[in-house]
C-alpha cells in the first residue's frame, strides 16, 4: 500500500529530542520521513545537529503528505519567523491531513488560532495563555492530546507524543500500542515480548 511521506519541520533551535521516538517508529513502519525547512539552507538544532532540509515549506502540499510534525524551538517564542509553519499547519488541518505539535510549536498554533476549538495540551496552561489565544477552556493537563486531527504535547513527553502519532496513523493499536508505550516510557521489559510477538519494534 502506498503511503505518503511524513513531513518533519526543521528550523534553527529545534528541540531535537522531541520527535525522535515518532520519526524512528514511523520509518520502521515504512513511512518515508522528509525534512522541511523555510528555505534549503542548513539549520542547527539546540543540540548542535546540522540538518539540511529535503524540501522547502512552500513546496509541501497536504495532498502529498500523511502528517506534518512541528517540533519545539526557541524561535517559536522569539518573533514570527516560524509563523509560516503554523500557517502550513492550518492548511493541513483544513485539508483533513493531521498535524502533530510539541512544546513551543503549540504556542505557534495557539497564535494561529488552531487551538481555540480543539482539545490540546502543552508545557503548562499559562504558557499558552501568554499568547492571548481563546482556547484556554480546551486545555487539558495531560501528557498528550489528540483532537480533530491535531496532536499536542509538552516538551517532557516525547514518548506520549509518539504514541498519539502512532495511534493516529494506525501504526500500532490496542495491546501493541500499549506495550510500545510501556517499553519506551516505563522501561517495562515485559512489554518487549508483546512487541516481539507482534513483529513490532
Q: Just list the catalytic residues.
A: 103
Cα→Cα distances 70→24, 50, 179, 188, 190, Å: 15, 17, 25, 29, 32
Burial of 50 (0-12, 13-18, 19+ CB in 10 A): exposed
Burial label, 168 (beta-carbon count in 10 A; 0-12, 13-18, 19+): middle
Quote the strand ranges of the chain, DSSP E: 6-9, 33-37, 43-44, 50-51, 55-56, 67-70, 99-102, 144-147, 150-153
Q: CA nearest 11: which of 95, 89, 73, 79?
A: 73
Strand partners, 163: none
Please state the separation of Cα 196 from the chain's center in Å.
26
Identify the residue whose cell numbers are 546540522.
50
Amino acid at each position: 500500500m502506498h503511503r505518503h511521506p511524513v513531513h518533519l519541520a526543521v528550523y534553527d533551535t529545534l528541540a531535537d529530542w522531541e520527535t525522535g521516538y515518532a520519526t524512528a517508529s514511523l520509518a520502521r513502519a515504512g513511512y518515508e520521513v522528509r525534512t522541511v525547512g523555510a528555505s534549503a539552507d542548513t539549520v542547527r538544532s539546540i543540540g548542535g545537529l546540522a540538518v539540511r532540509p529535503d524540501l522547502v515549506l512552500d513546496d509541501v502540499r497536504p495532498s502529498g503528505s500523511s502528517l506534518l510534525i512541528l517540533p519545539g524551538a526557541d524561535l517559536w517564542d522569539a518573533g514570527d519567523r516560524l509563523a509560516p509553519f503554523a500557517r502550513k499547519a492550518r492548511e493541513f488541518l483544513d485539508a483533513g491531513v493531521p498535524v502533530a505539535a510539541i512544546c513551543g510549536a503549540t504556542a505557534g498554533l495557539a497564535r494561529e488560532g488552531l487551538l481555540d476549538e480543539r482539545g490540546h495540551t502543552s508545557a503548562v496552561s499559562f504558557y499558552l495563555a501568554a499568547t492571548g489565544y481563546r482556547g484556554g477552556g480546551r486545555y487539558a493537563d495531560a501528557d498528550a492530546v489528540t483532537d480533530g486531527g491535531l496532536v499536542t504535547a509538552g516538551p517532557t513527553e516525547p514518548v506520549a507524543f509518539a504514541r498519539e502519532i502512532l495511534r493516529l496513523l494506525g501504526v500500532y493499536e490496542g495491546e501493541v500500542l500499549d506495550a510500545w508505550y510501556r517499553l519506551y516510557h516505563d522501561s517495562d521489559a515485559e512489554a518487549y515480548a508483546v512487541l516481539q510477538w507482534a513483529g513490532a519494534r
